[in-house]
Structure 1
Amino acid sequence: MMPRHITIDAGNPYALAQFWSGVTGWAIAAGDVPGDDEVLVPAPAPIPGLLFIRVPEEKSVKNRVHLDWSPTERTRDAEVDRVLALGGTIHEDHRAPDGRGWVTMKDPEGNEFCIERSEAERTN
C-alpha cells in the first residue's frame, strides 16, 4: 500500500492550493477552480499529491502531523526566503550557527511545515 494524497483541511481550498502549487512547482489539477470544495495539486509519481478539502472551522491547534520539505534546487535559506515571498510565515527558527537545523513555517491558513537543509547541504 502507498499513499495517494496528503489531505489538508482548508477554509479556502483553491487559495491554499495556489500557495502550495507555488511552493512545490506542481500545477493545480485541470478543472479545479476557485470555489471548489476539493482542489488537488497532483505530484509527480510516486509522490502523493496534496488534496485540499473545505471545512467550516478554522485551524485552532498545532498540527499533529506535518510535512518536512528538503529543497532540490536551492539551499534551505534560499527556500525559506522564496516561501516567505509566496505568503508563508516563519513559526520557529531552528537554524544553528554551524549551518545545521531547520525552519518551521506556516502556510497562509496556519498549517505548520518544516524546511530542512538540501541534500547538498547535508553532505558537505
Structure 2
Amino acid sequence: MILRHVTVDSSEPYELARFWSEVTGWPLGEGDEPGDDEVLVDAPAPVPGLLFIRVPEAKTVKNRLHIDWQPDERTRDEEVDRLTALGAKLFEDHRTPDGLGWVTMQDLEGNEFCVERSTLERGV
C-alpha cells in the first residue's frame, strides 16, 4: 500500500493550499485555481501530497492528526519566524532553555502542526 495524500478539510481549499505551497516550496496541482473544492499541493515522490477539500463545517476542536515538520535549510527558530511571517500562529511553545523541544503552530484555518529542531541542530 502507498500513502498518496494527507487530506485536510478546509473552508477555503485554494487559500490554504497556497499557504502550504509557500511553506513547503511544493507546487499546487496542475489546473488548481481559486474557488476549487479540491486543491493539491504536489509533493516530490515518494512524499504524499497535501490535499485540501472544501467542507461546510468549521474546525472546532484540536486535530486528531497533525504533521511534524523538520527544517532542512533553517534552524527550528528561524523556521518558526518564517512561518509566522507567512501567516501561521504560534499555538504552544515547547522549547526548553537547553535548546531542545518543538513549537506547535496553527495554519491559516487553525490546523495544528509542529516544527522540530533541524537535522543540524540534532547533530544528525
**Aligning the two structures, in what range does the TM-score lie when normalised by the shorter sequence?**
over 0.9
Given the alignment of the two structures, is residue 5 of structure 1 paired with residue 28 of structure 2, yes or no? Answer: no
TM-score by length of structure 2 reads 0.98
Separation in structure 2 between the aligned mates of residue 61 and residue 52 of structure 1, nearest angstrom: 18
Q: Secondary structure at the match of 1:52?
A: strand
Unpaired runs of at least 5, structure 2:
none
Counterpart of 2:77? 77
Which residue is 2:19 aligned to? 19
**TM-score, length of structure 1 as denominator length:** 0.98
Aligned-residue identity in percent:
69
Which residue is equivalent to 1:61?
61
Which of structure 1's runs of 4+ aligned residues deviate more than 6 A? Answer: none
Looking at structure 1, the residues matched to 80 and 14 of structure 2 have their Cα atoms a distance apart, in angstroms, of: 23
Aligned AA (1:40): L
Amino acid at match of 1:48: P
User: Deviation string for 1:70-91 (max 9, x for gaps)?
Assistant: 0010000000000000000000
Q: Give the secondary-structure state (helix, strand or coil) at the position aligned to 1:50.
A: strand
Tell me by how many angstroms 1:121 deviates: 0.3
Which segments of 5 or more consecutive residues in structure 1 lack a partner in the other structure?
A: none
